Structure 1
């Protein structure tokens, strides 16, 4: 309890020692000076704004447009008259151009002589029809000539000869494939050697102790490499 009393006593002493309690009159005088200064600034700023607005108002009152409003109206009327004259001139020019175009169409040969135009188109159609007929007849003749050549060709008249040539060619190709067939090689006494499913073509790819599979024409055997002998021809 005594600690709290000492704490609040110390705080009260600190507050009393501040300038607000020692010189309240001086603080009031400072605030009064600040208020007077702010009041003076506001007054000067307001007077400046009022003076500026009065000058703007006087300038507007003395302007040429305010003193002579009818001159502005006359100016606008002249502008409207000029626009109206321009619109009238352009519309009349456009109408004249369209009338000239219409008269040209009315005076054109096609309008005055429609039957001549129809005759011209009929002749064009007849020419196109004749051209189509000529080209189609020419195409038919060409195809007939080609067909006759095919009918008279040696292959059509002698189909067995063509079949024999194709058969002979087939047999030749079959014999070539038969020579390349590994089974034919096995039948001639040769064998195929595999290690782990891979074919081996040279002994240097094998080593002592390898398990190998030897394939004959009639079956396979599994064996092991015991020794290696280098071919003297190599």
Structure 2
């Protein structure tokens, strides 16, 4: 039997205490390093992960709302740095890590090396735009350094052959990942620059993980690209990936297909369009020259015709006719103006006629009489209404008007009495009713 003095805890109480101890021991977020050994994605989108090291493992949960925000998507075998919050699940007495961020352990190391090399080469001026070679507008020969297998080389060839058929294409195979990647590319760059028959070089590979692109962050490869006398276009990884070779090359393309388009920026159709445009400009120039000559001939002909004596005489006659018509128009205009003035004076004279003035004044007087009469009638009606209202008001406030409703006023000793205390036995009373006065005497007094 347990000692009755010892406190007995329930399972829920124990779990609650453990939860407080665990969660308050790790204040805020913590970063845990380990390898993902198990991964299960539920239909709800939540991902349940087991993270382990050499001796232990722990359960982790990545809620569906946070999956899209992860820098690195979790996968089995990934050595990861997990930013999380330690939480205790009271219901079954277990703890887990709630994940808010995932990054690769190797990614951090790669990024540190990348930034150091990037800063070093930048300080040496390898990224300066003033040292970059200009791309040829019409390349006759293009060298491609990439893998001979995969879709990258096929996409590049397809675009170049479509945009600039007839251009010489030289393909140089290389390792696109692994330890031999940078040295194989350096070897091909040396070979191409030694031959010196290419106008532009494309270094390309498809997308991949950060580990796959390590070879393109090699310092010796970057220096070989910088020293190349032939312009170089790089298209390495996805559009969001940036490598050292992209920074040092003469032009960076987002994709291998875009690199092919940049190398053949002036396609056959563009060249044909230039010819057509030049032909059109030539046609327009000749057309304008001919038109100018025609215009000059026309001007010379007009000058000769203007100086012809017969034309001058005709012009003078036409001028006289114009002046004659102008004079006629002016005279008619003056006559019409004077006639309008005369009509206006007649109208004004008619308006000043005494007879019409008298009639107008009589009409005004009659109208004013009617208006005055209406005003006086309105005033009389208003005054009558006021008198009636005052009479009604006097009647309403007259204390004797209540007698008409069956009430009476009782006087005792000449005063109005309304209570039993104001009456005495054998006192004479005067009772006033609506049509006269009644005299009486008090015989008996009763109170309610």
Q: TM over 0.5, yes or no?
A: no
Higher RCO (Cα < 8 Å, 6 or more apart): 2
Structure with more of its chain in strand, by fraction: 2
What is the TM-score normalised by the length of structure 2? Answer: 0.24
What is the TM-score normalised by the length of structure 1? Answer: 0.41
Q: Larger radius of gyration, structure 1 or 2?
A: 1
Structure with more of its chain in helix, by fraction: 1
